[in-house]
Amino acid sequence: MANTPELPSRRGVLRTAAAAGAFGLTAHTAIGRAVAATPAPDLPGGLIPYRLPYLNWAGEIAHPGLWTCAPRDGQQVADLANWARAAGWRLRARGKAHTWSPLTITPGTAADAPVLLLDTTKHLTAMALVPPPAGAPGAVRAQTGVTLEELLGYLAGHGLGVTNTPAPGELTLGGTLAIDAHGTSVPAAGEAARPGHTYGSLSNLVLELTAVVWDEANGRYALRTFTRGTDPECDALATHLGRAFVVEAVLQAGEETPLRCVSRVDVPADELFAAPGSPEAAGGRTFADYLDAAGRVETIWFAFTDKPWLKVWSLSPERPATSRPVLGPYNYPFSDLVPTPVSRLVGRLTAEAAWYLAPQLGALQYTVAATGLTTSLATDLWGASHHLTFYLRPTTLRETANGYAILTRRADVQRVISEFAGFYRERLEAWADAGRYPVNGQVEIRVGGLDQPAEVAVPGARPPLLSVVRPHPDHPEFDCAVWVDVLTLPGTPGAAEFYRELERFCLDTYDGGHALVRVEWSKGWGYTDAEAWADQEVIGEVVPASYGAGEWAEGTGLLRGLDPHGVFGNAFLDELLAP
């Protein structure tokens, strides 16, 4: 990597920007003058660089202005890669910045860092149907700057859809493939497999990828297309963590089937998260009970409350008589726009450091959800699948989050959820008894399938090598994943320490016996008592071991081989994916 600039120390790069506040204002002030003085790079192909601030979802990774450009096509990305190699710069794809982790830029990125952001959302947004392979009803070729809302709307217009999708529709396709974004779904009891669909991540839909990679024969970066089931590089690029630049993807799709979504706020956590075989589990209202009935379940459990917001989606070709039809996504306005009472209370927590108000905030958020579901007639909805699975707008409350996928057997899902929920509640209460309130948001729990090759309509397909829900070679009995996230306001005192307790519990409890934990790439993980992505054992040992030595080595080795000069990367990825 002789032409890559010398990088700052890992500790300096990964130090959190909590002192900068939710929007990084202190950091902006501190380096604003240096930013203004940094000369614009001379880019190839007539591309004009411009300054653009970077702010991730929770505002904890912020920069007041990195040089940015908007390539018009894949060839311009290749030209930029050759320029960057010669000039000593690094290139980072910029989509919607809806991430928590330092996969795009790292906290503390210097004002004059030789980092160029490539905005994919301006021009790399084309879509077109293509002939599907045998076994899939449809396929689409899409450039990676298109948003999921645009992509799934396009597919729905042709009678096609997908099973799993994240809640925010504003995510770019490139970003979702980079981190194997997921939804929440497993087969309901008696549900037959549907051709073209997967219960795994969106990365498992990949049929073909076009990326900018190093061409050794010609000594240049160039565009190259890789095919699933034929080219092993495709298995690495399908979840590349930002260590590559994919410009176009071909994805399979299945037939669109409308969904029904029923929300409830009356099931106590003691029942929903009950231990299997306990008296609380006997009433038929556990998470696993709803999972068997519908296959698509999510709970949002506000801090210090006892009744989560439970969402249950089910396949529903015909509208049930009690369901309200919807014509678009984002059907929970009380969640999309922060109500005034909530914003005022959040203001007190943050401005006055009144963190002891966390129980009141949790209770208020529950009340807002329970009341809002009724007043907006949103307890029972029916419509196009993407209209019901997209429910989170950028205008919602911005919180920081940790994230893990716990691989297990379907039969052990309730056990895993009960164990996690029990430990979380015990520790939260213990901290509160000590006068400390590290969590003021909510716990989100979902269950999804793994990236099974049998769900891919091409022969010889393998799971994406670095997908969080890649089946583990030593545990073929694990057939699904419990996704858990704990959210809190940025800057909450003690949050990293509390997250570390949760992470250590998961690592000790889900160690490959009845379950195995993996980190969720886009969220917080690798905690010390002070910050995320800093625990050397988790980064260097735990994460690789959770995939299996051969799979991790193959995936990271392929990515390094496709970009041996490190043009597409940053200091964090250099360490995480090091040989």
Q: How far is CA 279 from CA 72, 301, 515, in A?
A: 61, 21, 24
298 is catalytic: yes
- Find all residues with CB under 8 Å of 390, minimum gap 6, and list them: 148, 149, 152, 165, 167, 168, 169, 329, 330
- Spatial separation of the C-alpha atoms in residues 85 and 78, rounded to whole Å: 11
318 is catalytic: no
Please, is 182 exposed, middle or buried when counting C-beta atoms within 10 Å of its C-beta (0-12, 13-18, 19+)?
buried
Asked whether 71 and 124 are in contact (CB, 8 A), the reply is yes
- Spatial separation of the C-alpha atoms in residues 402 and 484, rounded to whole Å: 8
**Tokens in use for 538?**
């988790």
Helices 358-375 and 340-351, axial angle in degrees (round to 10) = 170
Give the Cα-Cα-Cα angle 548, 457, 551 (nearest 5 degrees). Answer: 10
90 is catalytic: no
- Spatial separation of the C-alpha atoms in residues 382 and 80, rounded to whole Å: 46
Helical ranges in 390-494 per DSSP H: 413-433
- Find all residues with CB under 8 Å of 227, minimum gap 6, and list them: 207, 208, 234, 458
Given 60, 149, 271, 444, the catalytic residue = 444
Q: How far is CA 56 from CA 11, 17, 327, 528, in A?
A: 20, 11, 30, 21
The string of DSSP letters for 9-74 reads PHHHHH---GGGTTTTHHHHHHHHHHHHHSPPP--GGGPPPEEEEEE-TTSSSEEEEEEEE--SSH
197 is catalytic: no
Given 85, 296, 398, 446, the catalytic residue = 446
Given 98, 243, 386, 462, the catalytic residue = 98
- Spatial separation of the C-alpha atoms in residues 365 and 488, rounded to whole Å: 13
DSSP strands (E only) in 433-549: 442-449, 480-488, 515-519
- Spatial separation of the C-alpha atoms in residues 315 and 374, rounded to whole Å: 23
- Spatial separation of the C-alpha atoms in residues 114 and 116, rounded to whole Å: 7
- Residue 375: count of CB within 10 angstroms of its CB: 10
Helices 495-509 and 413-433, axial angle in degrees (round to 10) = 150
| Tokens 């795009």 belong to residue | 104
- Rounded to the nearest angstrom, the gap between the alpha carbon of residue 560 and the centroid of all alpha carbons in its chain is 23
**Tokens in use for 16?**
């959190």
Given 298, 419, 520, 531, the catalytic residue = 298
Cα dihedral 336, 340, 346, 351 in deg (nearest 10): 130
Residues with a catalytic annotation lie at: 98, 298, 444, 446
